[in-house]
Structure 1
């Protein structure tokens, strides 16, 4: 049965505190292949600024960093962020912040915002707040990338439902550049009009 409210930060903090790497980001062949696909789908070889929402323990962050002049990586879990900071200690272009989005969305604008395995944790109210934020945080010509698992969960949304709802909320503010499906996940790249 699906939850009807956004999942609270303490749920994620408990997972990281108890399990360290609860989704096996460091060792999973699925995650490695998905990260390879994510990097290959970036809209240009190098980005000025990127926001990674839900950076977890920094496995993908470490791979994204060489493609960015500035990478702001955020998560709700202090435990995950501590592991990410250690992993990326030699990457001066990466800044980590504890933020609970969309309520604590960072100021400024970004050439690309990556929402990987995150928007299905939000209910419709939070998705609407995030859509409002994205309209201001992604300038014309900037990009949004979404990557989401397609399996069954008890999260507020499925991967397909969350992406479809966010697309509807953004409407003609974005155009679809890529909509790719693999057996277990989908990758969507949108450009801000």
Structure 2
């Protein structure tokens, strides 16, 4: 697509979006989002995870749906307005916490047996995507799962949905194998599992 950005989208981009609309992507009202969230939960290989990370949690709609299946869940997002909404939305789940920051520079400490990237990898440049894969390698627990969900429509983001997912899968190949993949007209959903180590 002509006019595609080349650099990772800056924090300001997201702050301005949330300043103009508290739910800029229609997470609470879109039939597409509801169907995608249901498909993502259905695709998770395990019924329960000890410690999960959702990167790009936004206003916490999927976070809230995922929380009952997690002993601990960390939501990460760059926009404070989104995190404030997510915290309120998930208030009944004490095991859910939030971190503000932009990946790959900011990454929560510890090991996770589930990492979810919901429609955010294409905001990154290829260089930052590679750095993010290194973060995942350092923190995904042995046998842990990684879920990628990406819209396939046209954008001006640095990467297309396919380029983001394929770039991540290729970068993670030394330590992750693809367990499953599905594709609709609107999005793709890829599930990977850590396959190296003990």
Identify whether the pair has TM-score above 0.5, normalized to the shorter chain.
Answer: yes
- SS of match in other structure, 1:142: strand
- The corresponding residue for 2:70 is 68
Matches within 5 A, 1:43-58: 43-58=45-60
Instruction: Show CA shifts across 1:70-109 (max 9, x none).
Output: 0000100000000111111111010011121110111111
Equivalent residue in structure 2 for 1:147, among 143, 149, 155: 149
TM-score, with structure 1 as normaliser: 0.98
Instruction: Show CA shifts across 1:133-189 (max 9, x none).
Output: 111110220011000000000000000001111111122311110111011000000
Equivalent residue in structure 2 for 1:127, among 117, 122, 129: 129
How many Å separate the matches in 1 of 2:171 and 2:178? 14
Runs of 4+ in 1 over 2 A off after TM superposition: none
- SS of match in other structure, 2:141: coil
Matches within 5 A, 1:1-193: 1-193=3-195
Aligned residues: 193
How many Å separate the matches in 1 of 2:10 and 2:193? 30
How many Å separate the matches in 2 of 1:181 and 1:116? 14
How many Å separate the matches in 1 of 2:105 and 2:132? 8
- SS of match in other structure, 1:164: helix
- Stretches of structure 2 lacking an aligned partner (at least 5 in a row): none
